[in-house]
Structure 1
Amino acid sequence: MDWYVLAPAAATRDLWVSLAGPTAPEYGVWTAPSGKALHEALATEGPPGVHDVEWYFMPQREHYGKRLVDALWQGGDGLKVYSERMCAVLESCSARLQTWPADIRHRNGSPVDGYLSVLEEVDSPGPVHSVFRGRRVGRVTISGEVRTALLHAGMTGLDIREAPSAFPRDNHWV
């Protein structure tokens, strides 16, 4: 089977987002009152793992791109931000995804609609799964069928590269 690594293309004109909220620290790791690091809880449990903190996605402070694409760059954390239409294409290829509405806000606070927070499989080589066995990062591995479906659907903002195996990060490739 052919495998590919999928990541947001992260062009300078694209919207890049990061975690934000009223209790986010200026520097360092943002932790919930429970002591969990927010980015780790989101990468393993998704939004249900961070129920005691108000958080959302905001444009990255040092980045001014605004173009809305199908895969938003989200600082490399394990929780992905994909468009609803991209998730529909992935799921049409039998991808097993966990999704939640993504609370994304423009700099002025107005909402950005049409996006989902996404967690993919981590332990088995399904059509969309983590590049690492057992943990998530900002990239996923996709099958050739998924690649074809994404290209056919005209998805934007994607960087898709050939991978040597189903879990290429295990081989220190990506």
Structure 2
Amino acid sequence: MSWFEMGPAAATRDLWVGLAGPTAPEYGVWKTPGGEPVHELLATEGPPGVRDVEWYFMPLPGHSGKRLVDAVWQYGDGLKVYSERMCAVLESCGARLQTWPADVRLRNGSPVEGYLSVLEEVDAPGPVHSLRRGRRTGRVIISGEVREALLDAGMTGLETLEADSAFPRDGGS
């Protein structure tokens, strides 16, 4: 089977987002009132793991890109921001994804519709899974079939590279 590493292309004209909220610190790790890092909870449990903190995705400071694409570059660990239509394509290929509505906002605070927060499977080499077994990163591994389906559907903002195995980052690279 052929495998590909996939993630946001991160073109400078594309929207890039990061976690934000009224209690987010300007510098350092953002923690819940219980002392857990917000980004780690989102990468492992998704939005249900962060009940006591108001958070959303905002454009990164100093980055002027605004173009909406199907895979949004998100400055964080394992929680991805994909368009609803991209998630539909991935799931039609058998991907087992956990998804939640994504609260994506523009600089002026207005909402951007049509995006989901996404966690992929981490323990099995399914059609869409983590680069590393047991841990999520900003990019995923997809099968050749998924790659073809994404190309056929005209998905935007993606970068795909050939991968040498189902879990290419297990070696620590």
Shorter-chain TM-score tier = over 0.9
Give CA deviations for 1:71-123 in whole Å, capped at 9, x if unaligned. Answer: 00001420000000000000000000000000011100100000000000000
Give CA deviations for 1:37-80 in whole Å, capped at 9, x if unaligned. Answer: 00000000000000000000000002110000000000142000
Question: TM-score normalized by structure 1?
Answer: 0.98
3-state SS of paired residue (2:10): coil
Structure 2's unaligned 5+ residue stretches are: none
Aligned mates of 1:166, 1:117 — CA distance in 2: 23
Q: Aligned AA for 1:92? A: S
Structure 1 residues 19-168: aligned runs within 5 Å: 19-168=19-168
1:9 corresponding residue in structure 2: 9
Structure 1's unaligned 5+ residue stretches are: none
- Which runs of structure 1 show a deviation greater than 4 angstroms over 4 or more consecutive aligned residues? none
Aligned mates of 1:171, 1:160 — CA distance in 2: 20
Aligned mates of 1:98, 1:146 — CA distance in 2: 17
Aligned mates of 1:76, 1:132 — CA distance in 2: 16
Q: Aligned AA for 2:17? A: V
Give CA deviations for 1:118-174 in whole Å, capped at 9, x if unaligned. Answer: 00000000000000000001000000000000000000000000000000111345x
Aligned mates of 1:79, 1:107 — CA distance in 2: 21
